[in-house]
Amino acid sequence: MTEETKIQTSESNFLDLSNLPSMEELLSGKVTESNFTEGSIIEGKIVEKRNDGVLIDIGYKAEGFVPSSEFQNWRDVKVGAIVDVFLEEIENENSMPGISMQKAHAIKVWNRITGECGEGSIVKGLMKHRVKGGIIVDIDGVEAFLPGSQIDIGPVRNLDEFIGQEFDFKILKINHDRRNIVVSRRELLEESRRDKRSALLKDMEVGQVRSGLVKNITDFGAFIDLGGVDGLLHITDMSWGRISHPSEMLEVGQDIEVVILDIDYTKERVSLGFKQKSANPWDNVVGKYPVGASVKGRVVNIMPYGAFVELEDGVEGLIHVSEMSWTKRITKAGEVVSVGEEVEAIVLEIDEANKKISLGLRQKERNPWEVLMEKYPVNTRIKGKVRNMTSYGAFVEIENDIDGMIHVSDMSWTRKINNPNEILKVGEEVDAVILDINPDQQRISLGLKQTENDPWDHIENLYKVGDLVQGKITKITAFGAFIELSNKIDGLIHISQISRDHVERVKDVLQLGQDIEARVIKVDRDERRIGLSIKAATENYSEEALKAAEEEYTAALKPGEAMIDIGEAFDEAMANQGL
């Protein structure tokens, strides 16, 4: 509701002066025509005092009656006193002039106030009674309206507390047509407060320690009343330590001493600090917590990436998840520590500029990877259980939850392993050789094929061109079949070497698991491949015939077929069989 609306809704509570003449009207021709002109102010004499009022002679054929309620001091009223009255009507229903002392007084006071005191003037008034939207104020007999929003600086919950009190008021608006006045006490209070605040701000200096009262608490800080000026004590300036809400330290109405941090005279804003009353604990943190030192603290906060440990009020360190265990992969700090827990850690690094301390939990123990490096030198043979497999290798447990990895390239001398599940199973116990231990990267490389000699080192003693060999078909591809020979060596029978007749599809002639006799037509030591021919095994071949078969074999291989991945060949073979 606007002030204008409030004023209009409260008009019925005012003494109705709308029909009363102004001073100009009283001095106009109306009152000069007759002393008994209705709407004029005339003199009269009290001729009789009764219990309920007085009779006043105004020079008319009959006296007029004024009730005792129109007199402020009824006891002091005496017969013979001369008074001013307002002539409402020459004769009323009782054939008497209708007169009013109260209205005569109101007109005189109204004219005096509006003549001497315009809008913006300061007047003294008495708060009489409540009305809708505010309070009626008596200003020397004239009623003015004080809106509820203009009573005090802050919201007023109980208007009755102000009834009967006298204050200074500022005239906000005078409506001559409606003959009402709107006043404000709030504007005077705000002006006084502004003057006081301006004087107080001039007296303040950055670095001063001042007393104040906690006026309000929010999520981001507290507002402190410094005696007329409110300052903001931000949560970050309350303590050198960690607090989640200002209410942990302060409560409304509490007396507190604060330090002036900054003053904005233009916006009249003051920034305050409480922690600045004591020394910054980070000033001596390097000397107190040197790198490598063992420290104790309390876990105050846990994030997915690490735990914050309070070493003292205002000094915290972070234990990153990567620094919590040498052997276990920690994904959440809460798996290892909990809020409130006392822990012991090692100082790893100090960043004074950004006020950060890196702590390590695992450094309280010796790096087990270094211990393993001493215990298992390179080429040491170990036995372990396969715990996990990926597409590129298998992880084998060595001891104390430490795994070594066998890469697919270190699983076989003779076969190209695409996936470790081709030769290993989870839970299987295997022999392996330590190839490398890197404590910094926490990696151990193992070799499976290194437990055996490389048959290709003496392949010439095992297979020569022209030898007849036997083996079992292990894989079928579009371009040929792989035969497992002795010493775990695979040979390739290209589709061109299966039969003298044209072969459209390998699987139409050969099947998985079938025993085959073939002749060696090519031994490629560099590529570690053996070429076989079934059709060359059917009769004795001369060197010239073998050489021709080798050339036919080489020419028949499309680019890239000789180097095809065994895993891809296996997948293709499965697809060709409709699996």
pLDDT in tens, 529-554: 888 988 888 766 777 777 777 777 77
CA angle 317, 318, 320 (to 5 degrees): 155
User: 523 and 471 in one domain?
Assistant: yes
Q: What percent of the chain has pLDDT over 70?
A: 89
Q: Tokens representing 530?
A: 């053996």
Mean pLDDT of 273-296: 87
Q: What is the pLDDT of residue 344?
A: 93
Total H helices, total E strands in the chain: 9, 30
> Are residues 257 and 300 part of one domain?
no
Q: Is the residue at 163 inside a domain? A: no
Separation of alpha carbons 164 and 117, rounded Å: 23
Same domain, yes or no: 257 and 306: no
Structure tokens, 260:
């002036």
Q: What is the mean predicted confidence (pLDDT) over 393-416?
A: 87
Residue 402 CA to residue 326 CA, distance in Å, equals: 9
Domain of residue 411: give its range: 368-451
Domain boundary among 364, 390, 409: 364
How far is the CA of 406 from the CAs of 136, 148, 374, 432, 495, in angstroms? 95, 85, 20, 8, 34
337, part of any domain: yes
Task: Identify whether residues 473 and 571 lie together within a single domain.
Answer: yes
Contact indicator for 168, 124 with CB cutoff of 8 Å: yes
What phi, psi does 192 have (nearest 5°)?
-65, -40
What's the pLDDT at 22?
52
CATH classification at residue 405: 2.40.50.140
Mean local confidence (pLDDT), 262-266 = 85
Instruction: Report how far residue 528's alpha carbon sits from residue 516's, in angstroms, rounded to the nearest whole number.
Output: 21
Q: Would the pLDDT of 555 be above 80?
A: no
**C-beta separation of 400 from 367 below 8 A:** no
Residue 514 Cα distances to 69, 106, 226, 429, 484, angstroms = 132, 128, 98, 30, 11
Note whether 341 and 409 are same-domain residues.
Answer: no
- Say if residue 273 is in the same domain as residue 285: no
d(CA 372, CA 384): 14
Output phi, psi for 188, to 5 deg.
-65, -40
Evaluate whether residue 23 is within a structural domain: no
Residue 119 belongs to a domain:
no
Residue 63 lies in a domain: no
Place of tokens 């009190």: 165
**Do residues 86 and 20 make contact, with C-beta atoms less than 8 angstroms apart?**
yes
| % of the chain surpassing 90 pLDDT | 26
Amino acid letter, 100: S
Q: How far, in Å, CA of 308 to CA of 292, rounded?
A: 18
Residue 66 pLDDT grade (very low, low, confident, very high; cuts 50, 70, 90): very high
Query: What's the whole-number mean pLDDT along residues 316-338?
Result: 88
Tell me, yes or no, whether 387 lies in a domain: yes
Domain annotation covers residue 375: yes
Neighbours of 493 (CB within 10 A): 26
Same domain, 343 and 245: no
User: Is 571 a residue whose pLDDT tops 50?
Assistant: no
> Pairing mode, if any, of strands 402-407 and 443-447?
parallel
pLDDT digits (tens, 9 = 90+) for 356-393: 999 999 888 888 888 888 888 889 898 999 999 999 99
Contacts of 246 (CB under 8 A, 6+ apart): 217, 218, 219, 220, 221, 222, 233, 235, 238
In 242-397, which residue ranges form alpha helices assigned H by DSSP? 285-288, 368-375
Q: Are residues 562 and 480 in the same domain?
A: yes
Domain boundary among 277, 303, 326: 277
If one compares 31 and 87, the residue with the highest pLDDT of the two is 87
Residue 166 lies in a domain: no
432 and 507 housed in the same domain: no
23 or 94: which leads in pLDDT:
94
Q: Give the bridge partners for 298, in sequence order.
A: 310, 342
Residues 254 and 352 in one domain: no
Beta bridge partners of 388: 395
- The per-residue pLDDT for 24 is 53
434 neighbors 444 (Cβ within 8 angstroms) = yes
Average pLDDT taken over every residue of the chain:
83
Q: What is the mean pLDDT of residues 180-198?
A: 84
| Cβ-contact 261, 277 below 8 angstroms | no
Domains contained in the chain, number: 4
- What is the reported pLDDT for 61? 86
506 class by beta-carbon count within 10 Å (0-12 exposed, 13-18 middle, 19+ buried) = buried
The mean per-residue pLDDT over the stretch 87-111 comes to 86
The confidence band for 453, taking pLDDT boundaries of 50, 70 and 90, is confident
Q: Are residues 445 and 483 in the same domain?
A: no
Query: Which of 282, 441, 421, 449 minimizes the C-alpha distance to 351?
Result: 282
Cβ-in-10-Å burial (0-12, 13-18, 19+) of 575 comes to exposed
* Boundary residue ending a domain (331, 347, 364): 364
pLDDT higher than 90, residue 197: no
Same domain, 321 and 358: yes
